[in-house]
Structure 1
Amino acid sequence: LVFYDAYLPELTSERSYGRLSGYGFAMGYLGALVTLAVCLPLITGGFAPENLPNIKLSYLVAASFFLVFSVPLFLALRDKKPVLTENVSWLKVGFREVLKTLKNIRQYPNLVRFLLAFFFYNDGILTIIAFASIYASNTLKFTFVELVYFFITVQTTAIVGSVIFGFITDKIGAKRTIVITLLIWIGVILLTFITETKEMFYVVGLLAGISMGSSQSSSRSLMAKLTPKAHTAEFFGFYDGSFGKASAIIGPWFFGMVSAVAGSQRIAIASLLLFFVVGLILILGVRTKAARVEIEDKG
């Protein structure tokens, strides 16, 4: 995903970042939906011992989708191949470039502030995704089949949210769009906290799907806008790695700790508001116009 995201500035102009990023996430969720539909006959038996062979087969189906649909990327897009000017290994070059990136990225304070904001609210998003099924089954007593249909609902609205908010991003700006999606996420958490029925949780899922696709696509758009083109790959490495996937470590630990101490997953869900509120405060401090000046000044 790091390399995939870094292609965005190369594939379109800045005024279309939102739409293309939205289309990309929409296609990703569509692929997940199709994969789930194909695997549905295999997984409806749940995790009963007699159904485990079918569960294992579903992983092969998912892997096949990755293999088949990654081929167009490998065939259609060409990288500029760097040439080593000294007799050193790529591993040493990699470590050296990481240190250089740490030095370079500090020259762009608005980008750093955005990455910190992304770290917090993305941690909240990934934690909700990770624990949604556990919360639904333990607190609201969803069956396995009901969980499958719930996630089909979420994936469907995520497709819609990615596309619609892609256009909104290009219209009002990525930062404002992120603020809107974070407010929706805050609403999702509050609704989840008070939800007592499965029907209401489906409504929560609809909102979560819309905000999930839109927050991810608009975040990638803003990252592309704040990143100097000369540092696209390395900075996106921090975006997807250090501030993206790595952020998922804290959220689940925090959720589990609160759940264990409070003895309630409802309170644990409510505690995730902290991540979104901190992310919202930080993103409000990002100055996109000043960031453009920073990029131009550094050449």
Structure 2
Amino acid sequence: MSTETVRVGAADEAGERRREQRGWYFYDWACSVYSTSVLTVFLGPYLTSVAESAADADGFVHPLGIPVRAGSFFAYSVSLSVILAVVVMPLVGSAADRSGRKKPLLAAAAYTGAAATTGMFFLDGDRYLLGGLLLIVANAAQSVAMMLYNAYLPQIAPPEERDAVSSRGWAFGYAAGSLVLVANLVLYSAHDSFGVSETTAVRICLAAAGLWWGAFTLVPLRRLRDRRSTATATATGAGVEAGAGAEAGATSAGLRQLVATVRDMRRHPLTLAFLLAYLIYNDGIQTVISQASVYGSEELGLGQSTLIGAVLLVQVLAVAGALTMGRLARTYGAKRTILGSLVAWTVTLGAGYFLPAGAPVWFFVLAAGIGLVLGGSQALSRSLFSHLVPPGKEAEYFSAYEMSDRGMSWLGPLLFGVTYQLTGSYRSAIISLVAFFVIGFALLARVPVRRAIEGAGNPVPERI
């Protein structure tokens, strides 16, 4: 084979990889609107108000006969959604690795979540149980879809490109969130001009996020391609005689698959150590994302327009923050950059405890601090973990990662909800989350990432 032929083949391969990467970015563009418009801005305060309208004289609702303070119902629903995801994700991840067919599973999860989100248009009056059910389905589906999406990263980007590719994906997501939030702000602020009530405007914004999610998911489904690794093909070939019966048996074994995945990860203890650190500090990140608007509306007395503007600021700065921290990682390494972001998270969250009520300027300052570290800390954590995954087990290991990202992030909302239930103070609830960042920092600092990458059987980048 001539040198010219090799060069042309390499160029074609690089072009195909770039095409897949651009398609991959678009899933962040599609689904981040759910995280931003639904989970972060509108659903928390709106579902809380719906629950309050259904509450008894003491301020409690009674789902399944259990007394729950109306202000805690949203946080508890988030916790239930991620517990459901814990059961489903290991099963789906293992099935994706065995079959090598991530795309059909990604499509099923994405469109389940998009449909549930679109159905939030019908959340009005005192239908708090409908809202909780749709939230549980949408959030669990989002977790499963993100697990499959993240599992593509080691396959579409070589080690030296992953920090940049992961950061661009997050930047795409925050750019989409910003764009849709501008439209939401226009509709919500001028709802009278559009001839709709305030609650109808909120319901339109919720449903529009589901439609956006479903429409733009078509792009990655067209661009990404399924592939089998050598390990997957070997495992599939060895088990082919077991037939459909074994597959059917595996489908009922979500929790057993989780145990099997964790048992396999014990052969890579440093990967497991990173995952534990990520589980802790990301639980804090996810709880801040989901509960910040409740804190702003209920504790600080800020209006919905102020909250939308603050979250829009977070989105804009998160684009710059993700790209900037991606560049910092090339100089200082991903681990050090993440550790720096955890210090910033701790300082920012601590400052949030002292924010005066009815002072939107200071809330915007807090939002700016969150935005600058939000995208980068998540993007670099994802790319760093991709180096710690043994070849051929991408989806299975990313199911465990996604449980840390969303699936195991039930402790934070639970702590937030219980703290509020016991104290009646959202300030006490928000300051309790500092522990997640402090403990996560201490655990991550102890992980020798170079040895962890070598232990997983992957090449070690020059700067990590």
TM over 0.5, shorter chain: yes
Count the aligned residue pairs. 294
User: Which residue pairs with 2:379 in the alignment?
Assistant: 217
Q: Conserved in 1, the CA contact under 8 Å of 2:306 and 2:360?
A: no
User: Which residue pairs with 2:213 in the alignment?
Assistant: 66
Separation in 2 of the partners of 1:99 and 1:248? 18
Q: Conserved in 2, the CA contact under 8 Å of 1:17 and 1:170?
A: no
Q: Conserved in 2, the CA contact under 8 Å of 1:35 and 1:65?
A: no
1:9-158 correspondence runs (5 A): 9-44=154-189, 50-80=197-227, 85=240, 86-89=242-245, 90-94=247-251, 95=253, 98-158=258-318
Distance 1:66 1:171, change over 3 A: same
Higher mean displacement: 14-23 or 133-142: 133-142
Higher mean displacement: 105-114 or 28-37: 28-37
Secondary structure of 1:228's counterpart equals: coil
Q: Conserved in 2, the CA contact under 8 Å of 1:44 and 1:145?
A: yes
Separation in 2 of the partners of 1:283 and 1:290? 14
Q: Conserved in 2, the CA contact under 8 Å of 1:19 and 1:169?
A: no
User: Which residue pairs with 2:406 in the alignment?
Assistant: 245
Q: Deviations over 1:184-237 (max 9, x none)?
A: 100111211222232122111101011111111011011101111221110001
In the TM superposition, residue 262 of structure 1 has moved relative to its aligned partner by: 3.5
In the TM superposition, residue 97 of structure 1 has moved relative to its aligned partner by: 5.2
Separation in 2 of the partners of 1:215 and 1:63? 26
Separation in 2 of the partners of 1:64 and 1:19? 29
Larger RCO (alpha carbons 8 Å, 6+ apart): 1
Matched residue type, 1:10: Q
Q: Conserved in 2, the CA contact under 8 Å of 1:190 and 1:270?
A: yes
In the TM superposition, residue 246 of structure 1 has moved relative to its aligned partner by: 2.5
In the TM superposition, residue 91 of structure 1 has moved relative to its aligned partner by: 4.2
TM-score (norm 1): 0.91
Separation in 2 of the partners of 1:284 and 1:103? 24
Q: Conserved in 1, the CA contact under 8 Å of 2:157 and 2:165?
A: yes
Higher mean displacement: 57-66 or 176-185: 57-66
Percent of matched pairs sharing the same residue: 29
In the TM superposition, residue 138 of structure 1 has moved relative to its aligned partner by: 2.3
Q: Deviations over 1:124-174 (max 9, x none)?
A: 111111221111122222111111111111111111111111122233222
Higher mean displacement: 77-86 or 249-258: 77-86
Unaligned runs of 5+ residues in structure 1 are none
User: Which residue pairs with 2:103 in the alignment?
Assistant: none
Query: Residue 4 of structure 1: which of 149, 154, 159 is its match?
Result: 149
Secondary structure of 1:166's counterpart equals: helix
Higher mean displacement: 269-278 or 63-72: 63-72
Q: Is structure 2 residue 419 aligned with structure 1 residue 258? A: yes
Secondary structure of 1:195's counterpart equals: coil
Higher mean displacement: 74-83 or 125-134: 74-83
Q: Conserved in 1, the CA contact under 8 Å of 2:185 and 2:309?
A: no
In the TM superposition, residue 56 of structure 1 has moved relative to its aligned partner by: 2.7
Q: Conserved in 2, the CA contact under 8 Å of 1:15 and 1:170?
A: no
Separation in 2 of the partners of 1:254 and 1:98? 24
User: Which residue pairs with 1:281 in the alignment?
Assistant: 442
Q: Is structure 2 residue 339 aligned with structure 1 residue 194? A: no
Q: Which structure has the larger Rg over C-alpha atoms?
A: 2
Distance 1:139 1:53, change over 3 A: closer
Superposed structure 1 runs of 4+ greater than 6 Å apart:
none
Secondary structure of 1:230's counterpart equals: coil
Secondary structure of 1:141's counterpart equals: coil
User: Which residue pairs with 1:206 in the alignment?
Assistant: 368
Matched residue type, 1:88: A
Q: Deviations over 1:67-102 (max 9, x none)?
A: 222112111111126666131253433537545423
Q: Is structure 2 residue 452 aligned with structure 1 residue 291? A: yes
Q: Conserved in 2, the CA contact under 8 Å of 1:115 and 1:239?
A: yes
Matched residue type, 1:176: R
